[in-house]
């Protein structure tokens, strides 16, 4: 017994004759008759009685057709499920991001994605780059955005953005009079910086070393928003990118170019052993267009 035989049987029940069933299925009437005869042989009982040139279900045939209807409803459910997955993908997407991109860029991408997929739930967490990597590797999140100091073993990765850092100063600070800030300008000045393992912090220290300046970090943090908040309170001066200040209140801050150029690079990471779903591809597209 195979699906084609069951399909022909159901078509005959619905149409009432073998000839009409053949027309519905696009096959010949003899092919319908052969399929029914083979199905009856396999089942061990007659499915139809002939009454005035029509095929009428036998009592056994009626009982069998009830189960056929249940099976067909299950197949229809599977077809609908397949169409939903094809058109929308799975029902949820999970995104983790470092703080510098999580305050404005990722929310912008989520808004774009939501307009395209309004019924898809998005889970969005902001955390340290190290935790972002861990959550992506473990499969807890589908997409991650991290700084470039993470260990990229075990993840698919690509450069997402490379942004130039600028100097954030409290309004009214004497250095606000400068058009450009250099390491020499920051010699002996209290600084608010990222933690030592941060790759941008390490590049900054190399620039200061080349200039013969020893930076004086008063506070260290992992969040760009925290750097800006501390600077606005007059704790010190910080170096941040335009992405890090997106979505936060900068009314008490002034920004000046920093020379020589200092760049912060972020990565887009994905699980290594999981194919990208249509939803993941669409969300990555929204991220890329939001840069």
Q: Is the pLDDT of residue 71 over 90?
A: no
pLDDT tens digits for range 261-277: 999 999 999 999 888 88
Give the domains, in start order, of the chain with CATH numbers.
3-88 (1.10.10.10), 92-160+266-289 (3.40.190.10), 166-261 (3.40.190.10)
Token pair listed for 44: 């061990």
Residues 146-179 have pLDDT tens digits of: 999 899 999 999 999 999 999 999 999 999 999 9
CA 116-279-125 angle, to 5 degrees, is 95
Distance between CA atoms of residues 12 and 24, nearest Å: 9
What mean pLDDT value characterizes the chain? 91
User: Under DSSP, is residue 35 helix (H, G, I), strand (E, B) or coil?
Assistant: helix
Give the pLDDT of residue 228: 92
pLDDT-derived band at 1 (thresholds 50, 70, 90) equals confident
What is the pTM (predicted TM-score) of this model? 0.67
The DSSP symbol for 17 reads S
Q: Is 190 left (phi over 0), alpha (psi -120 to 50) or beta?
A: beta
- 200: closest CA among 256, 263, 152, 243? 263
CB 155 within 8 A of CB 189: no
């Amino acid at each position: 017994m195979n699906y084609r035989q069951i399909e022909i049987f159901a078509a005959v029940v619905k149409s009432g004759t073998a000839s009409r069933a053949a027309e519905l299925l696009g096959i010949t009437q003899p092919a319908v008759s052969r399929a029914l005869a083979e199905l009856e042989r396999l089942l061990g009982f007659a499915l139809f009685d002939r009454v005035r040139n029509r095929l009428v279900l036998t009592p056994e045939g009626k009982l069998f057709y009830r189960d056929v209807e249940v099976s067909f409803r299950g197949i229809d459910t599977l077809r609908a499920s397949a169409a939903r997955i094809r058109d929308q993908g799975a029902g949820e997407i999970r995104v983790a991001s470092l703080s510098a991109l999580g305050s404005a860029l990722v929310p912008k991408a989520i808004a774009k994605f939501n307009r395209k997929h309004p019924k898809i739930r998005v889970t969005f967490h902001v955390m340290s780059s190290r935790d972002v990597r861990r959550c992506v590797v473990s499969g807890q999140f589908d997409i991650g955005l991290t700084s470039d100091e993470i260990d990229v073993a075990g993840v698919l990765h690509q450069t997402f953005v490379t942004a130039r850092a600028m100097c954030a100063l409290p309004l009214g600070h004497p250095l606000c009079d400068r058009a450009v800030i250099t390491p020499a300008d920051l010699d002996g000045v209290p600084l608010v910086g990222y933690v030592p393992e941060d790759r941008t912090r390490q590049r900054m220290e190399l620039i200061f070393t080349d200039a013969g300046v020893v930076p004086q970090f008063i506070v260290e943090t992992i969040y760009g928003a925290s750097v800006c908040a501390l600077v606005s309170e007059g704790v010190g001066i910080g170096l941040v990118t335009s992405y890090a200040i997106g979505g936060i209140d900068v009314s008490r801050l002034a920004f000046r170019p920093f020379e020589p150029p200092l760049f912060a690079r972020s990565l887009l990471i994905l699980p290594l052993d999981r194919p990208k779903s249509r939803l993941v591809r669409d969300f990555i597209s929204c991220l890329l267009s939001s840069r």
